Chains A and B, each alone.
Chain A
C-alpha cells in the first residue's frame, strides 16, 4: 500500500504566495475508489478531525487495504484559517459554487478541481459540521432518489438518515453535483464535540468495511456496536421556530423523547428576563437539533424534531 499527499489545486494569492488544496491518497490492492471530503466550509473542524482519525486507521491497516481512499482534510483552507463559513475576500460560500469553473476565480477553480478529482469515485462521503448556531445529533443526509446511498447510510453509525428532496439541498452544493453523495454531520459548528467525532469516525470506518476497502477485523470496535438509525423524510423533520424575539433558553436535551406540547425552551426579554414565549414541541418525536446561539428573532429556528421517532 502507498500513502501520499497530493495537491489538487493551488490557490494563488495576490501577494504572490499560494495555498494548496490537498488530499491524502491511500492506495491498496484492487478495490473500490472512495473519497472522503471535509472542510467545504471553514467552520467545520469536526469533519477535519474525523478525516484525520480515519486516515490514522487507514495507515494502521495499510497492508490490508483494498482499493483507493482519498481523504480531503480541508478543501477550503483559507476559510478554515479564520474559522469562517465563507471564502474570505470573496465572501462566497464554497458550497454554493459547485460545479465551479476552470477559468473562474479561486473559489470556482477549487470547486471545479474538486468535482474533477471526485470523478470516478464509487462513493463520496462528505463530512460536515453543524451550523454554528446549533447542536446537531449525528445524522446522514442522502438524496431521496438514491437507494444505494440510503442503504449505505444505514451503516454510518448515525442517529438519523435524512432522505432529502433535491431542492432541499440547494443549488451549487457538493451534494447537488454528486447525486450519490453521503453527507455525515453532527456536533456544533466551529467546535469539536465530545463523542461526535468518534461516532462519525466509527461510521466512516464501518462504511469502508461495507464498501470492501477495509476488512471487518480491521475495525477498532465490534460491528455490532454500530447504531441503527431512524430513516426520516423531509416531512418527518419538523422545524420549530420562535415566534418572539429575545434570548432562547433551551430546556430540552438532544435526542430526548418529546411529546406534543412539551416545552423545548423559552424566549425571554433580553433586558428584563421576563418570559415572552414558551416554545413547545408541535409534534411528538425526538430532538434532532437544538439552538445553541441564544439570540433569536421571530421566525428563528430553535429546534428540529424527528416526528414519531
Chain B
C-alpha cells in the first residue's frame, strides 16, 4: 500500500538527543540566544539550538519554527514555549520565556531611559529616524523572504498575491482593524486553501493509485 499516510514524526521520547539539562539551562540558553539577536533572531536560534546545543535537528527546527510562526504570538517566544514544554512542562515553558525577555528588557529600558533624556537633541532624533528607515526596510525584506515560500502554497501564486495585497490595502491604506481583516480575508483565504488542498490530495492519491495499478 504505497500511499498510507506514514507517520513522519514519531513521538519523541527525548532520550535520543541531548535536551536541556535543567530549567536553569533553559533559562540561560535562551538568555544567551536572545542577547545575540539584533534585528532578528532566526539565524541565531538555528545556530544556537541546532548547531551548538543540538537540542533539535534541522528538520525538527524547521517544523517547530513553522508552528511557532503560524500560531499567533512572537515566533521566538512561541518556540521557547514549545521547547520548554517538551522538556519540563509548564515550568520549562516559563523558564525559556523568562530567559528570552528578562535581560533584553532590562537593557532595552536602560537604552530607552537614556534615549528619553537625549531625545530632544536634533542629531539623536535624526539618527534614530535614519535607523527607523532601515528598520522599515528590514521588516519589508523579511516579508519578501517569506514570500518565496508562497510558491509551494496550495493557494497558488495568483490567490496568494491577491490575498497579500488585499491585506496590505485594508491594513495600511484603509486602517481597518486587524480583527475584521483576519476574519474576513483570513477566513476566505483558509476556505480557498482548504478547497485547493482537498483537490490536490485527490489528484495526488489518484495519481498514486494509477501508479500502483500498473
Are A and B co-members of a single complex? no
On A, residues with C-beta under 8 Å from B are: none
On B, residues with C-beta under 8 Å from A are: none
